[in-house]
Structures are given as structure tokens and as C-alpha cells.
Amino acid sequence: MEKQEKRGIIMGKTIAEKILGAHMGRDVSPGELIEVDVDIALGNDITTPLAIIEFEKLGLKSVFDQDRVVIVPDHFAPNKDVKAAQQCKMVREFAKKYKITNYFEVGRMGIEHALLPEQGLVLPGDIIIGADSHTCTYGALGAFSTGIGSTDLASVMATGQIWFMVPESIRFIFHGSRQKWVGGKDLILYTIGRIGVEGANYAAMEFCGEAISSLPMSDRFTMSNMAIEAGGKCGIIQADETTIEYVTPRAKREYKIYKSDDDAKYKEVYEFDCSRIEPQVAFPHLPSNTKPISEVGDIKIDQGVIGSCTNGRIEDLRLAAQVLKGKKVHPEVRLIVIPATQAIYQLAVKEGLIDIFIEAQAVVSTPTCGPCLGGYMGILAEGEKAITTTNRNFVGRMGHPKSEVYLANPAIVAASCISGRIIAPEEVL
């Protein structure tokens, strides 16, 4: 299964092709339509209700596997309003009726794409599908992970299978050492800025190189998370010692690590010199509209958000606290800090990070996706500007269609909230 013979030539395989082939029990090739068994099927409080309606029409008495369906109310939870309460109730009752093992209620939950790796539910070599576009996050573990629609989720909950076309792979090689304050968020914003929001349409984005190998898991999750912002089907990083160290104490089942062959075929190969990449800021209204921090200019902000499935992990909070410690948020700026899971929140309390945020006059929220999608906890009014660690800055993404959203790493967001304008961390440290 490691190789495919074609016209007498042994063809190498990419990580994505190997994972899909392993689940099929045979070799697969880009462009081929396949139907595969999934390891995990994920839904949240916004997407699962639609899936439930379709699932109930089938008249089934059980889901395909009560241990492999995962439901996390995280978008409008804790309940934002009556409609959100009704949706969460619907999801809660479904989980109880079908005895879903991995249903995570408020108080035991977190933002889904931070929670599942933390809980050891997603592992290297898995095929994971989720009714949320940022399901591609788990590719950071060396898994094939991608988003689907609610009706597809209904089908998967019933059968445990999904069909799709085997994607071509694009390889992104990051050479050299990273500059100070440059992390996964900056590398992926730089990449999207180079190739555009459609630059990797339906492709498996494979990230590698010494700069990637030096990244902690938190930054790897960030990179894979935003593969969808370049149109990617998934974003994969080969599992290595860093991955194994993260997974070993968490894994609840066996897993397998896959590696691309040296002669694997790629649609395209990009090579970047990380020593030349500055911290990045994505300007409205596309994640690809990026500029290095040195070219941002004078942009006043009204709000900052540190959190989301992209940058709400403990490492992100530590970075923000490093900048905020002993300082105050600008009197004309609101800063919202959202730990991505309850466990991260608790660790931030123990480490004194929450004290730093509150003393800086930021507000700290229970885990929620809220402000990222303009749901609640930070809606922008007309003309307001926000700098945020979230993943999208489309028109109206966080509120009024005439508001503006700028994307950056946690250190830049923290520094900008101190200054009242978008700046590099060095300017306040």
C-alpha cells in the first residue's frame, strides 16, 4: 500500500493518500472518488440540529458508533438567547436519546477544535470529519481531517462512512529559523497571503521543514486550522516526537503514523525562508490581505480578542500575558480573552494569567466561539475596528458590515490593545 505501480513506475504516496488508502484497504490516487469509514464524526450546536432533523427522518434506532460521534455545544453556548437555548436543548436531547458517549455539556466543554485533541479523541492516522469548516485543525496531528455539511453529518452518524474525492497535495517547506514573535499564526497568514484564499482549493496542504519541526503543538494546530482559509481540503503536518509527546498521555486508542514518500507527487511545492518572515497582520476583508507588521501603518483599534479555535490555547494565553503583564489596556479599547477549554482556563488561573488579564482591565470569558463568528461576546458596531487572533475577517464577520477585522498573533493583539493602535510587541516591551 506504500507504493503504487503505474506503467512500470513505482509511484510514491503523500500522507493524505496513505491515510485514505489505509482506510480503503488499497492504494488511492488523486481525483478518485472513494467512500471511507471515519474514525470520528463531529458536530456543534449550530450544525448538529440540521443533521438531527435529517437523521431522524431515517427512522434509525442508533448512530453508527456512540463512541465515535462527538457533539460539542460551543458556538452559541452558554446559551446566547432563546433560539440558541432551543438548539442546545435539541442537541442535548439527541445525545441522551442515542447515548452519545462524547457529548460535552457547558462546564465540561470547550471550543471543539481545542477540546478534541485535549481529550485524546483525535489521533495520528485518523480520518475525522466535522460539520464545521475548521475541522481541518486535527491535521496538525498527522490526521486527515476535513469539514462537511450538516446533511453529510447526518449520513455519517447513520453509516459511519463518507465519500469524497482524493485530493492532490501541495507541499509547503519552511526553511530556517523563525524571527522573534513569529509563530504558526504568522506562518499560515504569510502562506495564505502568498497563494490567496483559493490557492489550495480542494488540496491537502502539507506543511514541513525545520521551522515546522521546531513549532510546538499549539502553533501546529493554528497552521492546520487555517488551511481552509486558503481553500484547502485539509492541512497536514507529519507526526513526529513533538506529536507523540502530546498524544501519548491523552490517546484513548491505538493510532498509526504515516509519512510521505520521498518520491511522492505534489501538485505544487512552495519553499519559504522563515528568517525573512515578519509577524503578519491580515487586513480587511480577506485572510490573504496580509502585511508584515513593519508595513501596517497607523491603525487605531476599538477592540481586541484573544481566543478561538485558532489561538485560544494555553501557549497563546501565556504569550499575551507576557506582553500585558504590568500594563493596562488602552482606555478606548476593549480586550476580550477567551481560554479555549475549561482545562486551559483552569491552568491559566493556576499560572496567574487570569490575574494579569484582569489587572490589565481585560474581560475573561468562559470557553466559547462567540465573537469569532459575530455570535456574541464582542459584536462590533458600525465603523469599529478589531484586532483578533481568530481566523476570518470577511465583511460583517464580527458584527456590522461596516466594521473591520484585522487578524494577528496573540502578542500583536495584546500589544495593540495596550497602545490603542496596531503595533509590534517590541513597542510596549
Mean pLDDT of the chain: 95
What mean pLDDT do residues 135-143 have?
98
Annotate the chain with three-state secondary structure: CCCEEECCEEEECCHHHHHHHHHHCCCCCCCCEEEEECCEEEEECCCHHHHHHHHHHCCCCCCCCCCCEEEECCCCCCCCCHHHHHHHHHHHHHHHHCCCCEECCCCCCECHHHHHHHCCCCCCCCEEEECCHHHHHHHHHCCEEEECCHHHHHHHHHHCEEEEECCCEEEEEEECCCCCCCCHHHHHHHHHHHHCCCCCCCCEEEEECHHHHCCCHHHHHHHHHHHHHHCCCEEEECCCHHHHHHHCCCCCCCCCCCCCCCCECCCEEEEEEHHHCCCEEECCCCCCCEEEHHHCCCCECCEEEECHHHHCCHHHHHHHHHHHCCCCCCCCCEEEECCCEHHHHHHHHHCCHHHHHHHCCCEECCCCCHHHHCCCCCCECCCCEEEECCCCCCCCCCECCCCEEEECCHHHHHHHHHHCECCCHHHCC
What mean pLDDT do residues 414-429 have?
96
Q: Give 68-118 pLDDT, tens digit per residue.
A: 999 999 999 999 999 999 999 999 999 999 999 999 999 998 999 999 999
Domains of the chain, start order? 1-277 (3.30.499.10), 281-427 (3.30.499.10)
Calculate what percentage of the chain has a pLDDT beyond 90: 95
Q: Give 317-327 pLDDT, tens digit per residue.
A: 999 999 999 99
What mean pLDDT do residues 322-340 have?
98
What mean pLDDT do residues 48-61 have?
95
In this predicted structure, the answer to whether residue 1 has a pLDDT above a threshold of 50 is no
In this predicted structure, the answer to whether residue 2 has a pLDDT above a threshold of 80 is no
In this predicted structure, the answer to whether residue 10 has a pLDDT above a threshold of 90 is no
Q: Give 212-228 pLDDT, tens digit per residue.
A: 999 999 999 999 999 99
Q: How confident is the model at residue 3 (pLDDT cuts 50, 70, 90)?
A: very low
In this predicted structure, the answer to whether residue 4 has a pLDDT above a threshold of 90 is no
Q: Give 24-36 pLDDT, tens digit per residue.
A: 999 999 999 999 9
